[in-house]
Chains A and B, each alone.
Chain A
Amino acid sequence: MALLFSLEGAIGQGVLWGIMALGVYITFRLLDFADLTVDGSFATGAAVSSVMILMGVNPVVSVFAALLAGFAAGAVTGFFNTVCKIPPILAGILSQIGLYSINLMIMGKSNIPLLNSDTMFKTMGNILPDLGWITSTYLGVIIIGVLFVILVIALLYWFFGTELGASIRATGNNQHMVRANGVSTNMTTIVALMLSNGLIAMSGALVCQQQGYADVKMGIGAIVMALASIVIGETIFGRKGGFLRRLISIVVGSILYRIIVSIVLQLGLNPDYLKLFTALLVAAALTVPVLLEHSSQKKAYKKLTEAVQSVEEKF
């Protein structure tokens, strides 16, 4: 029973964090840019949303303000990389570190509780009834989360089919080809980073409203969680298939990741070890396919070679 209670929370969290994983997917897989801005821009979204809610702004509006703040964060990383020619990883780290201070500036302190303020999830939870073992609060998280995920996936699916979106996908493939066809790779890189970090900040805003506080450290390790979601999704759905399937697999991966985490915590894992657990989980998920292929190749070689040799012995 306790496991079921933790599952309902895990699903809602998985959906909300899934939006962040979708953002990371844009840079990590489509643009082929290891962007580490994530840890900073996730907290930026939370900072912007929480401060605006305290100011009395509508919580829904604050989520879209967070999106804009994320655009700005991505643009800075893009500027570092394209104009200043700083390598991707370093450009991302510079933004991430700089954002830590900026987030503190926005928040004014390191933690903002939203216990006495209305968030989207509180409002929704008050309207909804309990549904079986899922309480109204968790049901609200799932409904709002799914609505946002559908919106984001629909927008991404459309955007990456447009001329501009295709230019970004091409940039991740082959920058020479993109420039030779008259598109500035600086432009596509910046647009992709903006879009990615916008979604990440949006996810940060949603998560902060759901958990009822914003913390300047809440983005730490976000990149690894996003990679865990992407990799788990790929392991289960495979890396082939249409774009829509890929996007959905990431959100499913994110939900599965949260379920795995809630199970190991239920089983008694010290929460302090959670980040280590996540890191090892990602490493394992990346390693297993390599090992499997290696062993299957070896097995096939043995089998075929033995067959060839036995034929030789007969004659």
Chain B
Amino acid sequence: MLKVKHVSKTFNKGTVNEKKAIDDLNLTIEDGQFVTVIGGNGAGKSTLLNLVAGVYPPDCGIIELNANDLSLLPEHKRAKYIGRVFQDPLMGTAADMEIQENMAFAARRGKKRTLRWGTSKKEQEMYKKQLATLGLGLEDRLSSKVGLLSGGQRQAITLLMASLQKPDLLLLDEHTAALDPITARKVLDLTDQIIRENRLTTLMITHNMNDAIRLGNRLIMMYNGKIIYDVSGIEKQRLTVEDLHEKFRQAAGSELSDDRTVLI
């Protein structure tokens, strides 16, 4: 279970570029929940994920995963519990290393790196089987450098890598945004499949409202560093893109009228 309690984060404090990215945010995610996160640019979606992943510390508040306080734990120590796939397909893998080396590296997430050999024969067989499930023909290219693969292939491998060592929490930061529509659909279906099979607790950012509705069992909408809409169960299943647009307009509109009252 992930608990985010009264977390705030401001960038460039005390300068003209000051930006309150997360504003006293509270969020509890139960085990096995697959939450899709939507919201406009600058709403704080990525900041929220980065705070949970430990890329930077929160200004205040508590981030708890399965009753462990992660708030000030450095990024690499949290990685033991958290699997991640980034928006940029280049960010999740090491280009100059072989596919199997990348997978072996991820299979040891959260474990001490010793002077044992990086990959074993037994592992290679296992990776072959797992790569075959992607249906991209990568199972015969175990010793190809990842840098030779396309963005979609790299993203699929990153997804596989994030789930090799079952994470307590999976963070997906718009991980299909840089892919063409067909590849994006493929990677998304794969995402859904992996999450279901492993019952992974997941936070997924997306800009595609259809995907946000279609996938997962809970949806949150963010605006100006706050969660302005949180829906799950039957109510989420009945949502339409039009409903979401309407919610978004309401939130943006109320903000505008607030500004006006201040001005008057």
Contact = CB atoms under 8 A, between A and B. Distances in A.
Interface of A: 159, 161-167, 169-170, 172-174, 176-185
A244 to B, nearest CB: 15
A168 to B, nearest CB: 9
Interface of B: 53, 74-77, 79-80, 84, 86, 90-97, 101, 104-106, 108-111, 113-118, 161
Nearest to B93: A177
Contact of B84 (A163, A166, A174, A180): A180
Nearest to B118: A166
B93 A162 contact: no
Nearest to A29: B96
A161 B101 CA distance: 9
B101 to A, nearest CB: 6
A175 to B, nearest CB: 10
22 contacts: A162-B118, A163-B116, A164-B114, A166-B104, A166-B105, A167-B105, A170-B94, A172-B96, A173-B94, A174-B94, A174-B95, A176-B86, A176-B92, A177-B93, A178-B94, A179-B75, A180-B75, A180-B86, A181-B105, A181-B106, A182-B108, A183-B113
Nearest to A174: B94
Contact of B113 (A167, A173, A174): A167
A166 B96 CA distance: 11
Given A179-B79, A180-B75, A184-B74, A163 B113 contact: yes
B96 A177 contact: no
Given A163-B118, A180-B92, A183-B76, A170 B97 contact: yes
User: Interface majority SS on B: helix, strand, loop or mixed?
Assistant: loop
A181 B96 CA distance: 17
B95 A164 contact: no
A243 to B, nearest CB: 11
A161 B117 CA distance: 6
A191 to B, nearest CB: 10
B117 A174 contact: no
Contacts, number: 82
B80 A182 contact: yes
B109 A177 contact: no
Contacts of B76: 178-179, 182-185
Contact of B90 (A164, A174, A179, A182): A174
Contacts of B86: 176, 180
A162 B116 contact: yes
A179 B117 CA distance: 20
Nearest to A160: B118
A177 B113 CA distance: 15
A182 B79 contact: yes
Contacts of B113: 162-164, 166-167, 183
A174 B105 contact: no
A174 B158 CA distance: 13
Given A167-B105, A170-B97, A177-B92, A161 B118 contact: yes
- CB-based closest 8 A-B pairs: A182-B79, A173-B94, A163-B113, A166-B118, A182-B110, A170-B94, A164-B113, A179-B76
A313 B93 CA distance: 49
B163 to A, nearest CB: 13
Contacts of A180: 53, 75, 79, 84, 86, 92
Contacts of A170: 94, 97, 105
B108 A181 contact: yes
Contact of A164 (B79, B91, B93, B115): B115
Nearest to B115: A162
Given A181-B106, A182-B80, A184-B76, A166 B101 contact: yes
A255 to B, nearest CB: 26
A181 B97 CA distance: 15
Contact of B94 (A165, A169, A185): A169
A162 B118 CA distance: 4
A281 to B, nearest CB: 27
A182 B96 contact: no
B68 to A, nearest CB: 15
B96 A173 contact: yes
A149 B90 CA distance: 36
Contact of A182 (B77, B97, B104, B114): B77
A180 B118 CA distance: 18
A164 B118 CA distance: 8
Given A162-B117, A164-B114, A166-B104, A181 B79 contact: yes
Contact of A163 (B80, B94, B115): B115
A182 B109 contact: yes
B106 to A, nearest CB: 5
B93 A174 contact: yes
A180 B106 CA distance: 9
B108 to A, nearest CB: 6
A162 B110 contact: no
Contact of A169 (B91, B92, B97): B97
